[in-house]
A and B are shown apart, each in its own frame.
Chain A
């Protein structure tokens, strides 16, 4: 049985079919890449999976149980944590307090939650910034904070929306290492990413979206050669990136 599974997922905005009959399946321990050009519907798919948007049609199951119609907080409590492409830190709270909010989803007492938060803050490399106010963080730090908060909810599945956007190559490399560690520790992940090299380096399987529909799925190298993908995506960067794996 899949850990997280979507069938026939659809969402329209007026005339735009943002997500169109999408099927996705994530098994325990998978790291699935979700790629596609801008406006392909990736973020909308995350909003559907995490309960921020209600699908027009389709089914979403977590360990076989339907989660369609549940509120986002419920879905988080059930084990699906998401990050936002446009980061949303709690600006006037410290890094540690931001992460504590996530940890409180599993630990009702603030003492235990702060201990978990501290460990997660260290894990993502924000230790030295633990007591800094979030509004003062740099973009790479904000991306790490976004990841840390989601991690602190101790999810079964992490949905990461472009956590490397806006980072320089060194920072991307560090983020790839961090994500690989988290995955190696057993976390299942769905990763939206624009940086092809990173997707190729991390993912076992990749789903390609275009105009809301899945146009290809498979191992990264395989998908990169798919004619539809090359067409949709302008595959030069792709073809370059693929052998790097």
Chain B
């Protein structure tokens, strides 16, 4: 397993030397969505609190970092953490409202969606950050401004993001924090009876998750150079964030990565071909079908199934 990990890492480090720029772009999105999925995994997977509003955190992080860079001249390298902190604060507010007042299941989903929608509508109407027209970032190609001319640099940036988030989740998983989150997901009352401060740990999970997602906002802003409120705060983006860890295996360390390697190329290809035929947004239908299939046939996601297959083969 360790050797497999090292080998995989070696391949990932070497890939930019051999693949085309188009493939590199797809890999960048694979890593970035794996990163976002991993961030979501903390609260949505491990703690089992289904947030469907994570686009709000990405949007807050992206806007904060972009606006600070354009208007105040703060480097996105620092703005990244300001954006993360603001997203974390928003996560704390949403988490407190949801957890303190015991909103579970469906009601928590609605709360998170509602908050993301409120963000979207508010930003659409704040002219200072471009309103519905969007906010644009001047291209400089200056690494100090978190901009790169070479796609290979972006590749390594997103690879580091993905690995860092995965490292953080791996640390959480092995500690009391991670065990408590799993207990909360499995049975909240039983966890509480065993001394788990469920409110506190759910809040922590939400804050870590929204902070990381907010950090990701800086990549989104600096890579795309334009922020549209309807896109960056929209429900479709929230769905993009959660569908990968769910398909790959939520609450598992490698699930979000596997999910992103499966879905991101698929989304890219279907977006391209269906979009060409004028079928814009049709890939969302494909997601719907896929999600139903996963719920029916792989309720734990692809990663746990893969692990079981490998084990069974070893025994055979």
A interface with B by C-beta (< 8 Å) = 50, 52, 71-74, 76-77, 81-82, 84, 88-93, 97, 100-102, 104-105, 108-110, 113, 149-150, 152-153
Residue B198 CB within 8 A of the other chain: yes
Partner of B191, one of A84, A101, A113: A101
Partner of B190, one of A71, A84, A92, A105: A84
Partner of A110, one of B179, B183, B194: B179
* Known interface pairs A104-B179, A110-B175, A110-B179; A52-B189 also in contact (CB < 8 Å): yes
Residues of chain B within 8 A (CB-CB) of A91 are 186-187
Report yes or no: B186 in contact with A104, Cβ–Cβ below 8 A.
no
Report yes or no: B197 in contact with A73, Cβ–Cβ below 8 A.
yes
- Which of A73, A101, A113 counts the most B-chain CB atoms under 10 A from its CB? A101
Report yes or no: A93 in contact with B183, Cβ–Cβ below 8 A.
yes
* Cβ-closest 6 pairs across A and B: A105-B195, A90-B186, A76-B195, A88-B190, A72-B192, A101-B183
Q: Enumerate B161-190 residues with CB–CB distance to A below 8 Å.
A: 174-176, 179-180, 182-183, 186-187, 189-190
A76 to B193 Cα, complex, angstroms: 6
B interface with A by C-beta (< 8 Å) = 174-176, 179-180, 182-183, 186-187, 189-199
Report yes or no: A149 in contact with B194, Cβ–Cβ below 8 A.
yes
Report yes or no: B186 in contact with A102, Cβ–Cβ below 8 A.
no
Q: Which chain B residue has the least Cβ–Cβ distance from A159?
A: B193
Report yes or no: A71 in contact with B194, Cβ–Cβ below 8 A.
no
- Which of A88, A113, A150 counts the most B-chain CB atoms under 10 A from its CB? A88
Residues of chain B within 8 A (CB-CB) of A72 are 189, 192-193
A149 to B179 Cα, complex, angstroms: 14
Residues of chain B within 8 A (CB-CB) of A90 are 182-183, 186-187, 190-191
Residues of chain B within 8 A (CB-CB) of A92 are 186
Residues of chain B within 8 A (CB-CB) of A88 are 187, 189-190, 193
* Known interface pairs A101-B180, A104-B180; A89-B193 also in contact (CB < 8 Å): no
A77 to B198 Cα, complex, angstroms: 13
Report yes or no: A73 in contact with B190, Cβ–Cβ below 8 A.
no
Q: Which chain A residue has the least Cβ–Cβ distance from B191?
A: A101
Label chain B's interface by main secondary structure.
Answer: helix
Residues of chain B within 8 A (CB-CB) of A113 are 176, 179
Q: How far is the CB of A102 from chain B (nearest CB, A)?
A: 5
Report yes or no: B196 in contact with A110, Cβ–Cβ below 8 A.
no
Residues of chain A within 8 A (CB-CB) of B195 are 73, 76-77, 102, 104-105, 153
Report yes or no: A84 in contact with B193, Cβ–Cβ below 8 A.
yes
* Known interface pairs A90-B182, A101-B180, A101-B183; A82-B193 also in contact (CB < 8 Å): yes
Residues of chain B within 8 A (CB-CB) of A101 are 179-180, 183, 191, 194, 196
Report yes or no: A100 in contact with B179, Cβ–Cβ below 8 A.
yes
A81 to B190 Cα, complex, angstroms: 11
Q: How far is the CB of B171 from chain A (nearest CB, A)?
A: 12
Q: How far is the CB of B189 from chain A (nearest CB, A)?
A: 6
Report yes or no: B193 in contact with A71, Cβ–Cβ below 8 A.
no
A182 to B44 Cα, complex, angstroms: 39
A153 to B193 Cα, complex, angstroms: 10
Residues of chain B within 8 A (CB-CB) of A109 are 176
Q: How far is the CB of B269 from chain A (nearest CB, A)?
A: 34
Residues of chain A within 8 A (CB-CB) of B183 are 90, 93, 101
Q: Which chain B residue has the least Cβ–Cβ distance from A102?
A: B194
A94 to B174 Cα, complex, angstroms: 15
Report yes or no: B192 in contact with A73, Cβ–Cβ below 8 A.
yes
Residues of chain A within 8 A (CB-CB) of B194 are 73, 76, 81, 101-102, 105, 149-150, 152-153
- Which of B180, B183, B198, B199 counts the most A-chain CB atoms under 10 A from its CB? B183
Q: Which chain A residue has the least Cβ–Cβ distance from B199?
A: A71
* Known interface pairs A88-B190, A90-B186; A71-B179 also in contact (CB < 8 Å): no
Report yes or no: A89 in contact with B190, Cβ–Cβ below 8 A.
yes
Q: Which chain A residue has the least Cβ–Cβ distance from B201?
A: A73
Q: How far is the CB of B131 from chain A (nearest CB, A)?
A: 45
Residues of chain A within 8 A (CB-CB) of B180 are 101, 104
Report yes or no: A81 in contact with B193, Cβ–Cβ below 8 A.
yes
What are 19 residue pairs bridging A and B, where the CB atoms are less than 8 Å apart in the complex? Answer: A50-B193, A72-B189, A73-B193, A73-B195, A73-B197, A74-B197, A76-B192, A76-B194, A77-B195, A88-B189, A90-B190, A93-B183, A101-B183, A101-B194, A104-B195, A105-B195, A110-B179, A149-B194, A153-B195
A92 to B304 Cα, complex, angstroms: 12
Given contacts A52-B189, A73-B193, 17 further A-B contacts (CB under 8 A): A52-B192, A52-B193, A71-B197, A72-B193, A81-B193, A88-B187, A89-B190, A90-B183, A92-B186, A97-B182, A102-B194, A102-B195, A104-B180, A104-B196, A105-B195, A110-B179, A149-B194
- Which of B186, B189, B197 counts the most A-chain CB atoms under 10 A from its CB? B186
Q: How far is the CB of A43 from chain B (nearest CB, A)?
A: 13
